[in-house]
Amino acid sequence: MISLLKRCCLIPILTSLTILISISIAKDSPEPPVAKKIPKKLTVHDHTRVDNYYWLNERTNQDVLNYLTAENEYLESVMAHTKPLQEALFQEIKGRLKPDDASVPYLKNGYYYYVRYEPEKEYPIYCRKKGDLSAQEEILLDVNHMADGYKYYQVRGVNVSPDSRYVAFGVDTVSRRQYTIHVKDLKTGEMLADAVPNTTAGSEWGNDSKTLFYTTKDSTLRPHKVWRHAIGEPNETDVILFHEKDNTFSVYLDKTRTGKYISIESYSTLSTEMAVIDADKPREAQRIIQPREADHEYYFAHKGDHFYIVSNLDAKNFRLWKTPVNKTNRDNWEEVIAHREDIRLQGVQVFKDFMVVQERKDGLRQLRIIFDKDGSEHYLDFGEAAYVAYPTSNYEYDTQTLRYGYSSMTTPQSTYDYDVNTRKKTLLKESEVIGDFDRNNYASERVFVKARDGAEIPLSIVYRKGMEKNGSHPLLLYGYGSYGASMEATFSSTRLSLLDRGFVYAIAHIRGGEEMGRHWYEDGKLLKKKNTFTDFIDCAEFLIAEKYTDKDRIFARGGSAGGLLVGAVVNMRPDLFKGVIAAVPFVDVVTTMLDETIPLTTGEYDEWGNPNDPEYYKYILSYSPYDNVEAKDYPAMLVTTGLHDSQVQYWEPAKWVAKLRELKTDNNMLLFQTEMEAGHGGASGRYTRLRSTALQYAFMLNLLNRGTL
């Protein structure tokens, strides 16, 4: 994080390309950095765009780094008076977190596994106990020690071998999501020489506990190869099992709950292909369940002699099939749950005597229990209007207990065990909110907003009780609306710092997500993408009309593809919001989607469209935030990025901010922060990342003339 003690000063003129940046900042009246314009013509389909800031895409160019640093220092200068408020917010948010928090232990292969934190430590400690929770603790990985000396450190894909002796895990020290897989011998405590670079972090073990499967990435960071590695053998002897040569597909590894099969999933936006390896015979070749077909997505679970397959074959909202494990061609599929127009079948978890079906209806998740013996079934009742519930940490196959997570906008994250026979729920843990938090002080609503074309958009709202709908309250509206990702109505302890200061918080479940079924996604992508933006605008206008807030107190926030959302919205309706927070925003859509060397591009043609096609080029160009910046007034904006972002390259928001500075006609605040040691997800430490939240909250409070203590 940048230091807010520093004030921006005159940047000296250096040699070479440093003259591209002209900065004039007076001590008492800071002026923003101004990036020099170097026109670059980009011609496609006989249409030429002129990109004056294309030069900012050179990550290692010192002149680019100087510009990013100047923007950071400008932010420091402008927000210097809010430093006490930011510190107070940081301490307040941090103070709600339990210093020695720990996850609920789960049982797997005779051990109870859990993750815990120690007071003032940034990173998790992975632990286990053998047989009983009263047994002596064994530390698998103490990430605090491992991260010593690194500015960024992230561990992912922690995976213990079936014989409980080895743990494989991935490490990223740059924040580009290129992980090196390491293996630790838990019997001796030694790190093995087995170290595989440039992986996804995920791995799966053969049941011999000596064979490890993993995936590597290509130059665009697309997972494209599946490998087999023998523990103790040099990497040079590793065998490629599968190479996904279609650059619109990526590969992923998983293992069934039964432990019988390892799956290789090859997936694109609209198509999947699954292959299986017998985990008891890890050196045998994989076999495909069903060859890939255009627009056919399917996923499977193993149960006894059958695979249960969730598929959208002639079923927009998906349906459930089963097929013998040795006869997986589609001709052998038998329907188990039919397609329904009003319910999205999201997945199944299978157990020895029952299955759990995950469904979504009216925007909310449902958990449905179906018993094998007689086909009887029931749904879990959660008793709140807006919530999220999902199976979690169910590693035991032969059990009568379902473990699930639950949260709502007023209920902290909770973990339950549910006896499927007696229907008894046992609360194992509710995340503790330190301090004077009382859920009874807050209220949530779920309303539906009529969009301009008649669609009913779910809107989840939370506020402190006693709030009168008189237009006097500030409100933060959040949205995403891409990839079919559903934004859940979950609890946030950090959000309390806004609610307790009179804010209303709302989530717009706009099209492009999948809250209302598959059609909700399809109506917010490709040539219907603008529905996402107009839905968000309609939700904001509803909140103003219903006097939850007013036009001088409403704020918008979106990140990544949600940054595209708010970027498009401020071009369409710059008058609608008091302020906008765009985190790691995907705003240079045309240029990025024309560049196949950039991570994610080819795999997302089915999401945004391929601009090499003139129809999609024209449509994307019509909403791409960077391409549509105009000479007009814009709201105050805070834009953030990470220098090492592998998903939305830092230069997209950098160019966008530079163009906004050039063209906007207002005097509203425009701030740009680049985290120089982070990527898409921000800082790696659990406390450090909270400073970014404190900055965002201070930004909004400052615009409400509440920027000081």
What pLDDT, on the 0 to 100 scale, is given for residue 59? Answer: 87
Rounded to the nearest 5 percent, the helix, strand and coil shares of the chain are 20, 35, 45
**In the structure, what pLDDT confidence band is assigned to residue 467 with cuts at 50, 70 and 90?**
very high
DSSP, collapsed to helix, strand or coil, labels residue 625 as coil
Amino acid at 18: T
pLDDT in tens, 645-667: 778 899 999 999 999 999 999 99
Contact partners, residue 469, CB within 8 Å, separation at least 6 = 546, 547, 548
Residues forming a β-bridge with 191: 184
For residue 576, give Cα distances in angstroms to 386, 474, 607. 27, 13, 27
680 belongs to the catalytic site: yes
617: which DSSP letter? H
The first and second tokens of residue 484, run together, are 């079919």
Residue in the structure block whose two tokens are 């007696």 = 422
Residue 240 CA to residue 245 CA, distance in Å, equals: 13
Task: For the chain, give the percent of residues with pLDDT over 90.
Answer: 88
Whole-prediction pTM: 0.89
Residue 56 pLDDT more than 70? yes
Angle between helices 83-95 and 690-703 (to 10 degrees): 130
Residue 275 CA to residue 221 CA, distance in Å, equals: 22
- Which is more confident, 635 or 675? 635
CB 641 within 8 A of CB 651: no
- Contacts made by residues 35-38, CB under 8 angstroms, sequence distance 24+: 35/67, 35/658, 35/661, 37/662
pLDDT in tens, 344-391: 999 999 999 999 999 999 889 999 999 999 999 999 999 887 899 999
What pLDDT, on the 0 to 100 scale, is given for residue 4? Answer: 28
pLDDT in tens, 179-207: 999 999 999 999 999 899 999 999 999 99
pLDDT in tens, 511-521: 999 999 999 99
Among the listed residues 250, 407, 560, 684, the single catalytic one is 560
Domains in the chain, CATH or no CATH each: 101-138 (no CATH), 442-685 (3.40.50.1820)
**DSSP string for residues in 199-259:** EEEEEEE-TTSSEEEEEEE-TT--EEEEEEEETTS-GGG-EEEEE---TT-EEEEEE-TTS
CB 389 within 8 A of CB 406: yes
Per DSSP, the chain holds a count of helices (H) and strands (E) of: 12, 39
Residue 8 pLDDT more than 50? no
pLDDT in tens, 302-352: 999 999 999 999 999 999 999 999 999 999 999 999 999 999 999 999 999
Residue in the structure block whose two tokens are 């405590």 = 189
pLDDT in tens, 595-615: 988 877 888 999 999 999 999
CB 333 within 8 A of CB 298: no
Residue 14 pLDDT more than 70? no
Amino acid at 522: E
pLDDT in tens, 339-352: 999 999 999 999 99
Among the listed residues 182, 302, 306, 680, the single catalytic one is 680
Among the listed residues 203, 624, 645, 646, the single catalytic one is 645
CB 106 within 8 A of CB 257: no
Residue 234 pLDDT more than 80? yes
CB 686 within 8 A of CB 97: yes
Residues forming a β-bridge with 276: 263, 287
**In the structure, what pLDDT confidence band is assigned to residue 282 with cuts at 50, 70 and 90?**
very high
Cα-to-chain-centroid distance, residue 520: 19
Residue 24 CA to residue 33 CA, distance in Å, equals: 7
> In 10 A of CB 542, how many CB atoms?
19
CB 423 within 8 A of CB 458: no
Torsion angle in degrees (nearest 10) through CA of 338, 344, 350, 356: -100
**In the structure, what pLDDT confidence band is assigned to residue 29 with cuts at 50, 70 and 90?**
low
How many CA atoms are closer than 13 Å to the CA of 552, on its beta-carbon side? Answer: 4
Please state whether beta strands 554-559 and 579-583 pair in parallel, antiparallel, or not at all (unpaired).
parallel
Residue 106 CA to residue 257 CA, distance in Å, equals: 14
Please state whether beta strands 554-559 and 475-478 pair in parallel, antiparallel, or not at all (unpaired).
parallel
- Average per-residue pLDDT in the chain? 92
Residue 95 CA to residue 475 CA, distance in Å, equals: 24
Task: For the chain, give the percent of residues with pLDDT over 70.
Answer: 95
Residue 186 CA to residue 323 CA, distance in Å, equals: 39
**In the structure, what pLDDT confidence band is assigned to residue 684 with cuts at 50, 70 and 90?**
low
**In the structure, what pLDDT confidence band is assigned to residue 24 with cuts at 50, 70 and 90?**
very low
